[in-house]
Amino acid sequence: MKQILYTALAALLLQACSSKANKQTATLPQKETIPVRLLAVSTESSTEGSVRASGVIAAQNEARLSFKIGGVIETINVKEGDNVRRGQLLATLKPTEIAAQVQQAQLAVEKAERDHQRVQNLYKDSVATLEQLQNTRTGLDIARQGLQQAQFNRQYANIYAPADGIIVKKIASVGELAGPGTPVLFLNNVSASEKWVLRASLSDQDWAAIREGNTATVRIDAFPGVDFKGVVSKKAPTADPASGSFTVEVQVDLAGRRPAPGMFGRAQISAARAATANSIPYEALLEADGSTGYVFVTEDRKTVKKVPVKIGRISPERVYLSGGLEGYQWVVSTGSPYLKDGSAISVQ
Q: Which amino acid is at 75?
A: T
Q: Are 132 and 239 found together in one domain? A: no
| Model pLDDT, residue 7 | 47
Q: Is the pLDDT of residue 179 over 70?
A: yes
Q: Is residue 247 part of a domain?
A: yes
Residues 287-305: what's their mean pLDDT?
83
Would the pLDDT of 208 be above 90? no
Task: Give me the pLDDT at residue 90, please.
Answer: 92
Same domain, 75 and 148: no
3-state secondary structure of 156: coil
Last residue of a domain, one of 270, 300, 325: 270
CB-based contact 234:248 (threshold 8 Å): yes
- Check pLDDT > 50 for residue 332: yes
Q: Is 2 inside a domain boundary?
A: no
Percent of the chain at pLDDT > 90 equals: 18
Q: Are residues 203 and 264 in the same domain?
A: yes
Task: Write down the H helix ranges in the chain.
Answer: 2-27, 96-124, 130-155, 204-209
DSSP code per residue over 222-260: TSTT-PEEEEEEEE-SS--TTT--EEEEEEEE-TT----
Per the structure, the complete domain to which residue 79 belongs is given by 66-93+157-188
Range in 148-152, 187-191, 199-203 the model is least confident about: 187-191
88 with 161, same domain: the answer is yes
Residue 16 lies in a domain: no
Q: Total domain count for the chain?
A: 4
Instruction: Judge whether residue 17 has pLDDT over 60.
Output: no
Domain termination residue (choose one: 232, 251, 270): 270
Model confidence pLDDT, tens digit, residues 82-112: 888 888 999 999 988 888 989 999 999 999 9
Task: Answer whether residue 21 shows pLDDT above 60.
Answer: no
* pLDDT score of 2: 46
pLDDT for the residue 109: 93
pLDDT at position 145: 93
**Where is pLDDT greater, at 278 or 51?**
51
pLDDT at 82: 86
* Among 247, 270, 293, residue at a domain's last position: 270
pLDDT at 6 over 50: no
d(CA 234, CA 204): 15
For residue 289, is it within any domain?
yes
Q: What is the mean pLDDT of residues 190-217?
A: 81
pLDDT on residue 190: 65
The answer to which of 26-35, 100-109, 210-219, 292-301 has the lowest mean pLDDT is 26-35
101: in domain: yes
Convert the pLDDT of each residue in 41-98 to its tens digit: 766 654 446 788 889 888 777 788 899 888 899 999 998 888 888 889 999 999 888 8
> How many Å apart are CA 168 and CA 78, to the nearest integer?
11
User: φ, ψ for residue 37 (rounded to 5)?
Assistant: -120, 140
**121 belongs to a structural domain:** yes
- Cα separation of 207 and 209, whole Å? 5
pLDDT at 108: 93
Mean model confidence pLDDT for the chain: 81
Residues 56 and 197 in one domain: yes
pLDDT at 295 over 70: yes
Supply the pTM of this predicted model. Answer: 0.48
Is 15 contained in some domain? Answer: no
Mean pLDDT, rounded, for 334-338 = 77
139 band by pLDDT with thresholds 50, 70 and 90:
very high
Report residue 276's pLDDT band, with 50, 70 and 90 as the boundaries.
low
Is there a domain that residue 111 lies in?
yes
How confident is the model over 111-133, as pLDDT tens digits?
A: 999 999 999 999 888 888 999 98
Residue 187 has pLDDT above 60, yes or no: yes
* DSSP-assigned letters across all residues of 304-346: -EEEEEEEEEE-SSEEEEEES-TT--EEEEESGGG--TT-EEE
Residue that wins the pLDDT comparison between 4 and 148? 148
* pLDDT of residue 27 exceeding 50: no
Q: Is the pLDDT of residue 226 over 70?
A: yes
Give the mean model confidence (pLDDT) for residues 315-340: 78
Q: Could you tell me if 138 and 211 lie in one domain?
A: no
